[in-house]
Chain A
């Protein structure tokens, strides 16, 4: 069977780099990948479950990947979040797809 995974690098809140494989065929988003690999303590990421309503999955995109365009609710949530930068995104709004091969993201601090 063809390998459905993409390789992603996630830098956790302690600055540790994790090279992980994320499945493209399980309808997972970046926040869920972080949770499945337990890269942040349970209850500190994906608090709202993935509705773009809490910003606990905020991350910084370190590579120039073509990501799904930001929708209104994500933009609104980020505008109220703390520690935001120009490359901030909500992990829950980024579906894992083949396009993410080689992506590097860094988890924003907990707030």
Chain B
């Protein structure tokens, strides 16, 4: 059981900034995210795209914003449970919450802040009617253990970076790699495209374009795939694995079943006060919440995270006195023993 002061669900910009604000109040945070890395959409969808409305940054790349937020909250030593989706929340008799992930990791804290943005990112599944029955029986949407493909026949579908990168990687691992894409053009880093071209020329990647997988064939596990090229008779190829890589799309997911008031795919909060939900002790901040006048902006998430932390402090330290402090005046004391502070004024006599 992981114990902390605030469980933050979602490690996007809002969740990461909450770690910093909580740290100033001496509260520890642990973040849970379905993605394998922090940053949320900023890392997953558009790391190389610029953002122009972060205060004081005329321009910053989304990926750089994530890096800076990580650096800013580092001294407060946040814990991370990555690549796991928060599945259930249970309120205990002692008022604490236990959040359990899809992999069974348990987290316990008196306060939960849901900073889940548009939801957890789930793989987009091709529209093949029997695909779900082959999941984990030859169909994998995310490659977790590359070793699984050693000396196996693998078919990858997709035209983006992940399809290219995994084709390149598995070319050295699998018995055979076939890459199927609907077009001849691939959208990816130039060097990945060139590398796939090179491996294709060497016969290490079997490229089938423009084509689509139109059926999965097999008894219990994947045995073969039907591939259809435009205006041609479909053919089948034998394979052990089928890896469709068509990107991820955010889904509200299990949060919808937590008894929270939901409106327009977002969690209703009290914006007059502290962004608390209808369940005391559970807050929702950032793009995932809704209130009158809500704007889904990173900068609004930062504000909401800050107010949420103040309310969390009151829950965790009932009745304890506190006044807002300015970091310039009091400095920043990290949980790792580091201290940041403004340099002392120089007082020197002029002779």
Contacts and interface: CB of A to CB of B under 8 A. Distances in A.
B250 A73 contact: no
Nearest to B251: A43
A82 B124 contact: yes
Contacts of A41: 264-265
B124 A76 contact: no
B266 A42 contact: yes
A54 B247 contact: yes
Interface size band for A:
20 to 34
Contacts of B265: 41-44
A76 B159 CA distance: 8
B181 A111 contact: no
Interface in A51-98: 51, 53-54, 56, 72-73, 75-77, 79-80, 82-83
Interface of B: 41, 45-46, 49, 118-119, 124, 126-127, 158-160, 181-183, 185, 187, 246-247, 249-250, 252, 264-266
B159 A48 contact: no
Contacts of B118: 43, 47
B32 to A, nearest CB: 20
Contacts of B187: 72-73, 76-77, 79-80
Contacts of A80: 158-160, 182, 187, 246-247
A43 B182 contact: no
Contacts of A47: 118, 249-250
B46 A53 contact: yes
A101 B13 CA distance: 40
Nearest to A111: B124
Given A43-B119, A76-B187, A79-B183, A51 B46 contact: yes
Given A43-B266, A76-B185, A54 B46 contact: no
Nearest to B183: A79
A58 to B, nearest CB: 12
Contact of B46 (A48, A72, A76, A111): A48
B264 A42 contact: yes
Given A43-B264, A79-B182, A53 B45 contact: yes
Question: What are the 9 tightest A-B residue pairs by CB atom distance, in nearest-first order?
Answer: A43-B265, A76-B187, A42-B264, A79-B183, A79-B182, A82-B127, A80-B246, A42-B265, A80-B159
Contacts of A76: 159-160, 183, 185, 187
Contacts of A48: 41, 45-46
Determine which residue in A41, A48, A75 has the highest number of CB atoms from chain B within 10 A of its CB, and name it. Answer: A48
Nearest to A38: B264
